[in-house]
Amino acid sequence: MVLIDLSAAIEMAFCSDPGQVRPLNEDSVLVNQKLGLAVLADGMGGYNAGEVASGMATTVVGSELAHQFDTRAPGDLLESGQVWARQALIDVVARTNAAIYQAAQSQSQYTGMGTTLVAAQFYDDHLAVAHIGDSRLYRLRGEELKQLTRDHSLLQEQIDNGMLTSEQARFSLNKNLVTRALGVEPTADVELNEYDVLPGDVYLLCSDGLNDMMEDEEIALTLSTLSVNLPLCAMQLVQQANDNGGRDNVSVILVKIKEAFPAPHGSHGAGWWRRVQSWFG
């Protein structure tokens, strides 16, 4: 039973490229417009192991979530008061971690592989985002570009504890050391956040190959200039990263909110429940 179809309200586009230096593309992307799901992973590990890890991450998260939402809409409220989308993301990412970890443990060529992950699930005028590592989610709302995820990286920790300013961080030699990743430990420390979503918002999921090569102002300019043509916008971002050197794989997923998408009336959705709550608020 299909409970949701967000393809009228949400448009998605993506582009993934090995860049100018690397022979392999170890990034993976997955979009499911109907479900309102976007997943991006940046794999690491020797030979093609990084590719395997990121591919497993996007595939498993994509198929497992689709399965989870087959019988229960992502906006449904659980007895615990949690939204199903959030709980489902937590469960599915944990299972994905276990699957990658298992593969890494059981096959020697995959030893030590891992991947970052950023997964955005849109539901009921909201967004639940799960992330681990240094792949990012940005939001352009009006003129303002905001980074919604905080990197799990050594550099971010150094910025947080005042050792480095974000300006100095650009010159660090410890770039791209992630402090958390999927598939490297039996359990993964995934971060989950929820945000409200407004029509006109543009969301960008990207691997570090984009944000290491482009200033936020350039990203904002490209998003605001070209979001009317989303596939072109995605290609343009990748091209700009490559024009600036393309030293890493570069992948982007763009999500444009064309109209509001409240959970349907009559379902036991969170939207319905929130409205009831607001009467008594």
Partner 1 sequence: MAKLILSMDNLVLKEIPLNKERTTLGRKAHNDIQIDNLAVSGEHAVIVSILNDSFLEDLNSTNGTFVNGQQIKKHFLQNNDVIELGKYRLKYINEAAQSATQADFEKTMVLRPDMLRKANEPAAAKPAGGAVPAVMAPPIQTAPAAVPAAPALPFGAIQILTGSNIGRRLELTKSLTTLGKPGVQVAVIARRPIGYFLTHVEGARYPLVNGMAIHTQAHELKDHDVLELAGVKMEFSLKA
Nearest distance, CB of residue 50 and partner 1, angstroms: 8
Nearest distance, CB of residue 190 and partner 1, angstroms: 14
Nearest distance, CB of residue 270 and partner 1, angstroms: 35
Specify whether the CB–CB gap between 124 and 263 falls below 8 A: yes
Report the chain's C-alpha Rg in angstroms: 19
Q: How far apart are CA 74 and CA 269, in angstroms?
A: 8
Q: Applying CB under 8 A, which of residues 8, 163, 198, 260 lies at the interface with partner 1?
A: 163
Beta-carbon contacts of residue 79 (< 8 Å; ≥ 6 apart): none
Measured from the CB atom, the residue of 87 and 242 that comes closer to partner 1 is 242
Measured from the CB atom, the residue of 48 and 267 that comes closer to partner 1 is 48
Residue 269 makes contact with partner 1 by CB under 8 A: no
Letters for 178-207 (x = contact with partner 1 by CB under 8 A, - = none) are: xxxx--x-----------------------
Q: How far apart are CA 137 and CA 145, in angstroms?
A: 10
Residue 228: both structure tokens together: 């009317």
Q: How far apart are CA 15 and CA 40, in angstroms?
A: 11
Q: Applying CB under 8 A, which of residues 158, 193, 258, 273 lies at the interface with partner 1?
A: 158
Tokens 């990121």 -> residue: 54
Site size with partner 1, rule: CB under 8 A: 52
Burial 79-113 (b: 16+ CB within 10 A, else e): eeeebbbbbbbeebbeebbbbbbebbeeeeebeeb
Q: Applying CB under 8 A, which of residues 5, 146, 245, 268 lies at the interface with partner 1?
A: 245
Letters for 83-122 (x = contact with partner 1 by CB under 8 A, - = none) are: ----------------------------xxxx-x------
Nearest distance, CB of residue 281 and partner 1, angstroms: 40
Segment contacting partner 1 (CB under 8 A): 5-13, 65-73, 87-95, 243-251? 243-251
Instruction: Using alpha carbons, select from 193, 209, 277, 197 the residue that is nearest to residue 244.
Output: 209
Beta-carbon contacts of residue 205 (< 8 Å; ≥ 6 apart): 29, 38, 39, 40, 118, 120, 135, 136, 137, 252, 253, 255
Segment contacting partner 1 (CB under 8 A): 4-12, 77-85, 236-244, 255-263? 236-244
Using CB under 8 A, list all residues that contact partner 1.
21-22, 42, 44-46, 49, 111-114, 116, 133-134, 153-154, 158, 163-164, 168, 170-181, 184, 208-209, 212, 218, 221-222, 225-226, 228-229, 232, 236, 239-240, 243-245, 247-248
